[in-house]
Structure formats: C-alpha cells, structure tokens
C-alpha cells in the first residue's frame, strides 16, 4: 500500500440494516484508507454485499454514521449520489445491456459526463481502459451479447474504471473473470493504489486476498468482527474469525473412487468444438470426478454444453448404461438419460427471479410433487429440507423470493435443484463461484459421497486449488481443443497453469512428464498417467 496518510476515504460506524425480519447487518464498522486495497471476507449471507450496497447508495441503513474524507456525511440516497462522491461499484452478477455495443455499455450511466465528451474522446478513453484490462479487447462496436462472460464482466469493470473513482468496489466481481483478465485487473488496482485511489475487494478467494489485499475486514452474521493488516492473517485465522470455529481441514486431495474397472457411463467420440478443431474423445466412468480447465473462452463451456445436449458440435455423445447405448441429441434427451447440467450464469441461466426459493428448487423435479392435477407445495418443501442441511443453505422462509437470498445461497439452491433429480452424470459449470470456503468444502464432501455412490461428475472450475483438491483428472482446453489431460498423480499448480498457456511436457526432478499435448486421443481413466510417461520417454 502506498503510505499516503490522510483521513479515510470513507468510514462507517455501527451500521445496521434489516430486510423485514432479516437482520442483514447488525453492527458493522469499516474504514477505508487512501490508496489501500481493503478486502472484506465472510461466509455467504454474512452481510458483505449489503454493506457495500449501502456505501454505493443502493440501500439505506437503519442505523449508523458515515464520514467521507474525514467529514460527517449523509448516507448516499441514490447510486448516482455515491458515484458523484467518487464511489464506483461492480457487482457479482454481470450487468450489461447485451443488445448494445461495447462502447455504449462502458458509457452507460455516465450521461451527465458523456453528453459533454466528444464521440472520438469517448472511443479513445474506452479503448484505453479495455486495452489495459483485456489481452484481446473486443471492438468497441461489437454487441456485448456476443462476448464471453469474462469479457462482459470486463465491460462492467471498464464502466467503473472510466470514472476514475476514488473508491472502486469490486463485489465478487472478479469471479467471472478469466485468469489473464483478473491478473491485468489486479495490475490496474495496484497502479490506482500507487496513485492514492482505494479499492474494496469482496472475494471468497484466499489467493486474491494474498495477492493484493493490504487489510482485511472479516464479517460474521451481519457484524464486522475485526480488521487485520497484511502479515496478521492466514487462512486458519480468517476462517476462525468468519465462522467462530476452526477451519474444516483442507484435504490433501480425494481418494479416487473410480478405477479402470468402473463402468463407463458416458462416451464422447470425435468431438470437434469448433470447425476445423482437432477432434477428441472422452470416456467417463461411474464415480469419477473430472475437472475442466483452461483460460476463459477456449472451448470448456462448449464442451460441457455438448455433453449436456445443449450445444450441437461435430461428433457424438453417448450415454452408456450397461449394454444399452443412447446418443444424446438434445438437452431434454440428456436429462431423461440422467445427465444434469448446472449452468454458470446464475442470473441469466438458472435463477427464476419471480419465483420463490422452493419453487426455484423444485422446478426441475416438479413431477415428484404432483398430487392429481395439482402441485403440492408441502412435498416440494419436504424434499428441499433435505438439501438445506446437506448444503447448509441459509434461508428465511422457503416461500420468500429467491432474490432475498445472498448470491452464494442462490447458487446452492440451483445445485440442490439438480441433485434432487438424482442424476447419474452431473455436469457443473463453475459451481463454486461465489460460495464461501466452508460451503465449498461441504460441496466437495458431498460430491465425494455421491461419487462413491457411482455418480460421475464433470466440473468446470476457474480455481486451480479446486482442481488440485477435488479432481481425479483434469482436461485442459486451449483454442477449442483438448490440449492436455493431467491425471491425479500429475496435478500440480505449476503444471496446470503451464498447460493453460500451452505448456508442453516438462520434466520434474524425478524425470516424470507433467503435461502433454493431447493427440487425437480419448481422455479416459487410469491410462493417462502411464500414457504420459510413455510419451515423455
Ligand atoms: N433485498 C433483500 N431482501 C431480503 N433479504 C435480503 C436482501 N438482500 C440481502 N438479504 C439478506 O441479508 C443477508 C445478508 O446478505 P448479503 O447479500 O449481504 O450477504 P453476503 O455476505 O454478501 O453473501 P454472499 O457471500 O453469499 O454474496 C442474507 O441473509 C440475505 O438473505
């Protein structure tokens, strides 16, 4: 952190905020210093978003006081008032107008400034921000709907950065970013800090906090429980403060359940994820947990959707059930064959905002709640109760709107929805995005239990640690092709990250090959490691 001194940019004390009976913030105190990166951590539903929404003028507090630059101030009555005071916020859910251009999206909401800025100047400034943020920026006239999730989130971030705010608030905004954009954003945050501008970073990722956090405030059940400076925290201390209990032990990595003898449950042949791409295959066995990794937009998404019958690609996906084989031709067909898909983008793809929590849960399995011509709400609620415990979902009442839940709890409801369908193959598209560290571990444990019962899991994750901890093997995609397959024995952080960038076989101290460039092979259990060693020798 730059040693800048001076009064805090903003300071809130004894803040409280309730939504009906829910006490989202009980007693929060936070000071953000000039030029610092101030992380806020806490379990799902602990009040982090509500706190920054108050600072952003979205919510009004029930109690508390605010100082801006050392002087008492009124809480901002509107988001516009907060922006006028130099506060710009990027939220977790990607907020873009998909039918408008990149340029329009970056200048949306800045009409008062933008009317005075000439078009050429607008383009120049937008281009400059995007060039710093993205390795391959889209054209300014491209429609935002055609961009990847990461690029769309980059547009939202660019919208905030172009205001050159004194305080930039990133509320889980990095979770939709790919590896390289996140690194570039952190570079920009550091440059801003050196110039005296401050950032609040809400994240569930320890690596991000370690990378750029100067101080951390921890929240628990609506209260701030303490602020620590760099050097004072480690994961155990933080989790202890977040939960009031010791951290669940990080596992060394799961014991694999599947073996070469386990039944094959799905086979993909000659898949080409884009025209002209080198085809590859996959053979998935009962009990396997297979990771899908790579830089954003390199085909991982298309691959998952192809397995779930959502994206037509060249090649064939076949559900195998003993001697029976069924080609997956549509999403509906895939569901009928026991293949469930949990999408990545909560807001656009999986949450029905006008429905209640229980309705959101029951939507994929409503036939189980049919009583004659009617749906039994009680039956849905009873089924849901099982998952409340299993996934530790924090809700008020099941009949409340899904939008009353914190982001992480919404995500857990969508996971519960698909688990309730008792799939044989579960395809998860970055499911732990936005869920807290203990909830992640709960999900890992659950997946482990389900794998032992024979469930096969294919899971995209943007977190390297998640691959290391959870996966039996990891498929790495690059430029729309299967670029590498790392078996459990080969999985290290360095190898995985190197393979994102096309890292070829490197050799460790024991002379074992690490990554390989996949030939037109079939990714399958148990053979990859031996294969790799053969290729290396
Ligand atoms: N608009 C709302 N109406 C009703 N309850 C709400 C609303 N917004 C938040 N809450 C409740 O307030 C509590 C705190 O939510 P908040 O979103 O601030 O948590 P969070 O720490 O940001 O969680 P996460 O890590 O899951 O994003 C939760 O119990 C949530 O359900």
Task: Dump the DSSP string for 373-392.
Answer: TEE-HHHHHHHHHHHHHHTT
Range of the domain at 131: 10-243
- Residue/partner pairs of 137-140 with CB below 8 Å, 24 or more apart: 138/102, 139/102, 140/101, 140/102, 140/103
Q: Which two tokens stand for residue 7?
A: 């009064």
Residues of the chain with pLDDT under 50: 247, 249, 504-522, 524-537
If one counts the domains in the chain, the total is: 3
- Output the CA 50–ligand 1 centroid distance in Å: 6
- Judgement on whether residues 323 and 450 belong to the same structural domain of the protein: yes
- Output the CA 202–ligand 1 centroid distance in Å: 14
- Judgement on whether residues 397 and 478 belong to the same structural domain of the protein: no
- Output the CA 27–ligand 1 centroid distance in Å: 15
Give the up-direction half-sphere exposure of residue 179: CA atoms within 13 A in the CB hemisphere. 16
Cα-to-chain-centroid distance, residue 359? 23
CB of 203 shorter than 6 A to ligand 1: no
- Judgement on whether residues 181 and 304 belong to the same structural domain of the protein: no
CB of 45 shorter than 6 A to ligand 1: yes
Cα-to-chain-centroid distance, residue 408? 10
Whether residue 181 lies inside any domain: the answer is: yes
- Judgement on whether residues 524 and 430 belong to the same structural domain of the protein: yes
Residue 112 CB burial class (10 angstroms; 0-12, 13-18, ≥19): exposed
Give percent helix, percent strand, percent coil of the chain, each to the nearest 5. 35, 25, 40
The per-residue pLDDT for 4 is 63
**What whole-number distance in Å separates Cα of residue 5 and Cα of residue 150?**
35
The per-residue pLDDT for 243 is 76
- Output the CA 318–ligand 1 centroid distance in Å: 41
Q: Whose CA is nearest to atom 27 of ligand 1?
A: 407
Whether residue 283 lies inside any domain: the answer is: yes
- Judgement on whether residues 365 and 467 belong to the same structural domain of the protein: no
The per-residue pLDDT for 508 is 36
The per-residue pLDDT for 534 is 28
Q: Whose CA is nearest to atom 16 of ligand 1?
A: 47
- Judgement on whether residues 124 and 21 belong to the same structural domain of the protein: yes
- Judgement on whether residues 127 and 235 belong to the same structural domain of the protein: yes
- Judgement on whether residues 201 and 324 belong to the same structural domain of the protein: no
Which residues, other chains included, contact 201 with Cβ-Cβ below 8 Å and sequence gap of 6+?
37, 38, 39, 40, 170, 174, 189, 208, 209, 212, 213
- Judgement on whether residues 388 and 465 belong to the same structural domain of the protein: no
């Amino acid at each position: 952190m730059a040693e800048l001194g001076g009064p805090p940019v903003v300071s809130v004390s004894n803040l409280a905020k309730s939504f009906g009976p829910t006490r989202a913030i009980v007693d929060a105190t936070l000071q953000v210093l000039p030029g610092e990166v101030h992380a806020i951590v806490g379990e799902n539903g602990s009040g982090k978003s509500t706190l920054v929404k108050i600072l952003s003028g979205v919510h009004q507090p029930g109690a508390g006081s605010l100082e801006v630059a050392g002087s008492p101030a009124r809480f901002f009555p509107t988001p516009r008032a907060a922006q006028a005071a130099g506060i710009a916020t990027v939220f977790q859910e990607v907020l873009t107008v998909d039918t408008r251009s990149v340029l329009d999206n970056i200048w949306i909401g800045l009409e008062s400034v933008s009317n005075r800025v000439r078009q050429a100047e607008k383009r120049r400034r937008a281009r400059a921000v995007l060039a710093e943020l993205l390795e391959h920026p889209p054209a300014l006239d491209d429609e935002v709907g055609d961009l990847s999730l990461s690029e769309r989130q980059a547009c939202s971030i660019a919208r905030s950065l172009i205001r050159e705010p004194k305080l930039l608030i990133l509320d889980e905004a990095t979770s939709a970013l790919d590896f390289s954009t996140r690194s570039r954003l952190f570079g920009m945050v550091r440059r801003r800090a050196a110039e005296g501008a401050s950032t609040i970073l809400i994240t569930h990722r320890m690596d991000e906090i370690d990378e750029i956090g100067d101080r951390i405030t921890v929240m628990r059940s609506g209260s701030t429980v303490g602020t620590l400076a760099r050097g004072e925290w480690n994961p155990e201390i933080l989790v202890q403060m977040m939960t009031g209990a010791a951290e669940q032990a990080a596992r060394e990595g799961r014991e694999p359940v599947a073996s070469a003898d386990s039944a094959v449950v799905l086979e993909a042949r000659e898949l080409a994820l884009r025209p002209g791409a080198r085809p590859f295959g996959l053979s998935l066995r009962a009990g396997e947990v297979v990771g899908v990794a790579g830089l954003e937009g390199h085909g991982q998404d298309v691959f998952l959707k192809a397995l779930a019958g959502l994206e037509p690609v060249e090649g064939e996906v076949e559900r195998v059930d003993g001697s029976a084989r069924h080609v997956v031709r549509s999403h509906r067909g895939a569901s009928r064959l026991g293949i469930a898909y949990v999408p990545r983008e909560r807001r656009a793809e999986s949450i029905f905002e006008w429905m209640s929590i229980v309705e959101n849960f029951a939507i994929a399995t409503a036939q189980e709640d049919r009583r004659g011509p009617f749906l039994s709400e009680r039956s849905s609620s009873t089924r849901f109760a099982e998952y409340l415990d299993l996934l530790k979902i924090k809700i008020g009442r099941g009949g409340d709107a899904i939008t009353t839940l914190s982001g992480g709890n919404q995500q857990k409801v969508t996971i519960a929805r698909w688990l309730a369908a008792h799939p044989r193959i579960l395809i998860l598209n970055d499911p732990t995005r936005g869920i807290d560290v203990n909830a992640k571990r709960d999900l890992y444990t659950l997946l482990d239990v389900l794998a032992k019962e024979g469930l096969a899991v294919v899971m995209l994750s943007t977190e390297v640690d998640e691959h290391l901890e959870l996966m039996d093997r990891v498929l790495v995609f690059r430029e729309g092709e299967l670029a590498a397959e790392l078996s459990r024995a080969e999985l290290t952080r360095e190898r995985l990250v190197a393979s994102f960038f096309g890292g070829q076989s490197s050799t460790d101290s024991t002379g074992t090959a690490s990554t390989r460039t996949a030939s037109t092979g079939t990714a399958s259990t148990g053979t990859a490691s031996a294969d790799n060693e053969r290729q290396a020798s």
